[in-house]
Amino acid sequence: MHQHDHERLARVGMPEAVLCGTKSIEQVRAIAIELAEATTEPRLLTRLGDEQLAALPTSVTDRLDDDRLSKTAMLNGVQPARPGRVAVVAAGTSDASVAAEASRTLQFSGVRHDLIVDVGVAGLWRLEARLDEIRAADIVIAVAGMDAALVSVLGGLVAAPVVAVPTSVGYGVAAGGTTALNSALASCAQGVTVVNIDNGFGAACAAVRMLSLMGRAG
């Protein structure tokens, strides 16, 4: 019997999510069944492996909206719409699954957003071509691996909050994402914040926290 944190929505504005990637097939199955029985409120599962998904009973999967690119699944639909708009900007195709995790978490949280991929700085014109679109967003999530130079360039071009998601994409010194992480943390662009490597979910949660400021009187 797992001890769920059902009051998290009231306390921090977001319901508890289930990080499946660090759990066994049996553990995920048990938690999912418990959740499905305990609540009809929306719940998000992240890093849900193919085998973990296959082990879920129809009592769960009937109420599940699953996506294999992002490895996310929504139980009981999505949360009510929130104000604001987020731009999820990814450097390359290789970063697509992490960007998709951010995108799906935003969808789950009722947040409108645009997904802008393949704008790495090795071809700077691609980013410039999308800049108006990006500047129209209230918040920018920048997803990049390798040198993560996209983070600094974006941070110098927009006034909105920029949340960087370093990815583990790459090889040699890039593999694992530490170079992208450190590059984002050491960014010469002021006021950029960073989440853990490949943590598209966390970046979206950070955006949700920030969006709560919208419409609030100063």
Residues 72-91 that bind its own copies (CB under 8 A): 82-84, 91
Among 29, 94, 114, 115, binds its own copies (CB under 8 A): 94
Q: Judge whether 137 and 150 are in contact, CB under 8 Å.
A: no
Identity of residue 83: P
Q: Residue 58 or residue 214: which is nearer to its own copies going by CB?
A: 214
Q: Judge whether 89 and 140 are in contact, CB under 8 Å.
A: yes
Give the strand pairing for 162-166 and 192-194: parallel
Angle at 11 between CA 8 and CA 15, to 5 degrees: 30
x/- map, 190-209, its own copies, by CB under 8 A: xxxxxxxxxx-xxxxxxxxx
- C-alpha dist (Å) from residue 138 to 78, 89, 131: 21, 13, 13
Residue 62 beta carbon to its own copies: minimum distance, rounded to whole angstroms: 24
Residue 55 sits in the site that holds its own copies (CB under 8 A): no
Residue 27 sits in the site that holds its own copies (CB under 8 A): yes
Residue 218 beta carbon to its own copies: minimum distance, rounded to whole angstroms: 2
Interface stretch with its own copies, choices 35-43, 53-61, 71-79, 188-196 (CB under 8 A): 188-196
Q: What is the DSSP letter of 79?
A: P
Residue 136 sits in the site that holds its own copies (CB under 8 A): no
x/- map, 141-160, its own copies, by CB under 8 A: ----xxxxx-xxx-xxxxxx
Identity of residue 37: E
Q: Judge whether 190 and 156 are in contact, CB under 8 Å.
A: no
Residue 14 sits in the site that holds its own copies (CB under 8 A): yes
